[in-house]
Structure 1
Amino acid sequence: MVLAIDIGNTNVVIGCFQEKEILFVERVSTNQNATPLELAVSIKTILEIYRIQTEEIEGSIISSVVPSINNSMRKAIEKIASCPVLVVGPGIRTGLQIAIDNPAQLGSDRVADAVAALHEYEPPIVIIDMGTATTFSVIDARRRHIGGVIAPGVGISLNALTEKTAQLPKISFEPPKKCIGSNTVACMKSGILYGAAGCIDGLLDRITEELGETPTYLATGGLSESIIPHCRHKILTDPLLLLKGLQLIYEKNMGKETEK
């Protein structure tokens, strides 16, 4: 079994896979002040819930956009399992061609997304990852990551709206019954959900125009299942895309590469 961990700005996603099967996926809040012991307790507790013994963990791979946690997470894994720990970054083989101004700037989460997308879909592909930020990663017909877009995430937009106004309440992500709201909460839900969906549709139109051909649209991330159904483009969703990418990268670096 291999432990896969994606450290994001808001959540840490913890998954475990055995061969091609993902056994579980869980989320805990990202805490930059957490000690290795605290992280180890969280991971071990999740493994115990799924009745997985630490002795069964043969390896681990980490994707992170919060570098300050990386060392603590590595130590946490080493506390509970005697296994190699890979961190996606310089020196790790991914097989991805990155054709941007500074390839080192591409986040490891977007690298993992792209690796998984190219394994399962024919390019060109546009990957929409809806987390703390909403990112668009563009893979051209030559299988190269040529760039993308970074926009404020839905949660950030909602928090800014409620924190910077005196009379607007916090709301859930439940969809409104119609676009034209007849009360404050309905108006806010419409603005957040349909506004995010409209932003995605508009950016996809512009990206597609620049590519000169229609790509496969693929969405992932914690909020994708709440927003994507309201988009007008046909967008596939895969909430496990990043973990699949980590699995492929782990196999590539451990000599267990899976053929497409």
Structure 2
Amino acid sequence: MVLTVAVRNSEIRFGGFTGGQIRFAAAIATDHRMTAYQYMSAFSQAFSLFDAGKNGFSGAILSSVVPLLTDRICQALRHFVPQVTVVGPGVRTGLNIKVHNALGLGTDLVTDCVCAVREYPLPCVIFDLEAATAAAVLDDAGNLLGTSIMPGLMTSLYGLRHETALLPEVRLQAPDSPIGINTDEALRSGLLYGMASMVDGMAARLSEGLGKACSFLLTGPYAEHILPNCRQEYRYDPDLSLKGLHYIYLKNLRQ
């Protein structure tokens, strides 16, 4: 079994692959205060729930957009597998990146695109809803033309709470109507319908910028909260990044 791990700002998502298929996927919260040992314990508990890793993993690959945690997570993972491949310089992805500074591109978007090129119709626009909402545009040849970065769902909520004193805690569930009749509904309306409208609007603009019709993908930890409120048709794939990591692992294993 090959272990894939995507370290992100709000969660660390990981999964196991055998025979080219994903066998399990799970996530734990990203916590800068946790030690390598604490992460090792968290991974161990998760693996036991899925009866995974008891015979060891044949290999592991990791992508990270949280540099502070990269070495710590690798140290934790070496309890289960001797070597961890980290996506970065020297690791072949097979993705043709057209942006000016490819090294500055988040590996989360890179892994998303690697999977999308292999599994979804092109051209396409990928929306990854995490701490920030990021979009990546792939042309019909699978080239990554560029990206767009927008405020994320929780980033928007935290910003509101930081700047205002009286806003209550809210759950991530859209009200029945976008017209809120109290503060709670007004907040949930703005957050969930507003974020869905932003994604829909950017989908239209990015497709227009591409100059042709395209498919749209949603992924990331907050995608499931936004998808029901969108008007554009999207394909939802919560494991897009993990599958991309697996493709990258296999490519580098062969070479």
The 1:124/1:41 distance shift into structure 2, 3 A limit, reads same
TM-score for both structures, normalised by structure 2:
0.96
- Are 2:88 and 1:98 equivalent residues in the alignment? no
Q: Which residue of 2 aligns with 1:168?
A: 167
Alignment of 1:26-41 (within 5 A): 26-41=26-41
Q: CA deviation at 1:212?
A: 0.8
- Are 2:239 and 1:240 equivalent residues in the alignment? yes
Q: Which residue of 2 aligns with 1:85?
A: 84
Q: Which residue of 2 aligns with 1:159?
A: 158
Are the counterparts in 2 of residues 94 and 252 from structure 1 also a CA contact under 8 Å?
A: yes
TM-score for both structures, normalised by structure 1:
0.94
Q: Which residue of 1 aligns with 2:60?
A: 60
For residues 173 and 144 of structure 2, the distance between their equivalents in structure 1, rounded to whole angstroms, comes to: 34
Deviations 1:98-148 (A, max 9, x none): 000111111111010000000012311100000111000000123110111
For residues 53 and 205 of structure 1, the distance between their equivalents in structure 2, rounded to whole angstroms, comes to: 43
Identical counterparts, % of pairs? 37
Runs of 4+ that moved beyond 6 A: none
- Are 2:3 and 1:3 equivalent residues in the alignment? yes
Q: Which residue of 2 aligns with 1:16?
A: 16
Q: How many corresponding residue pairs?
A: 255
Q: 3-state DSSP class of the match of 1:27?
A: strand
Query: What amino acid maps onto 1:35 in structure 2?
Result: T
Query: What amino acid maps onto 2:77 in structure 1?
Result: I
Query: What amino acid maps onto 1:55 in structure 2?
Result: N
Q: Which residue of 1 aligns with 2:250?
A: 251
Q: CA deviation at 1:162?
A: 2.3
Are the counterparts in 2 of residues 135 and 150 from structure 1 also a CA contact under 8 Å?
A: yes
Deviations 1:39-87 (A, max 9, x none): 21111121122222443311001010011211121121112333x3111
Alignment of 1:133-144 (within 5 A): 133-144=132-143
Q: CA deviation at 1:173?
A: 0.9
Query: What amino acid maps onto 1:231 in structure 2?
Result: C
Are the counterparts in 2 of residues 64 and 70 from structure 1 also a CA contact under 8 Å?
A: yes
Query: What amino acid maps onto 2:156 in structure 1?
Result: S
Q: Which residue of 2 aligns with 1:124?
A: 123
The 1:108/1:97 distance shift into structure 2, 3 A limit, reads same
Are the counterparts in 2 of residues 128 and 219 from structure 1 also a CA contact under 8 Å?
A: yes
Query: What amino acid maps onto 1:152 in structure 2?
Result: P
Query: Which runs of no fewer than 5 residues in structure 2 stay unpaired?
Result: none
Q: CA deviation at 1:184?
A: 1.0
Alignment of 1:196-211 (within 5 A): 196-211=195-210
Higher relative contact order (CA 8 A, sep 6+): 2
- Segment of structure 1 superposing worse, 197-206 or 108-117: 197-206
Q: Which residue of 2 aligns with 1:49?
A: 49
Query: What amino acid maps onto 2:49 in structure 1?
Result: I
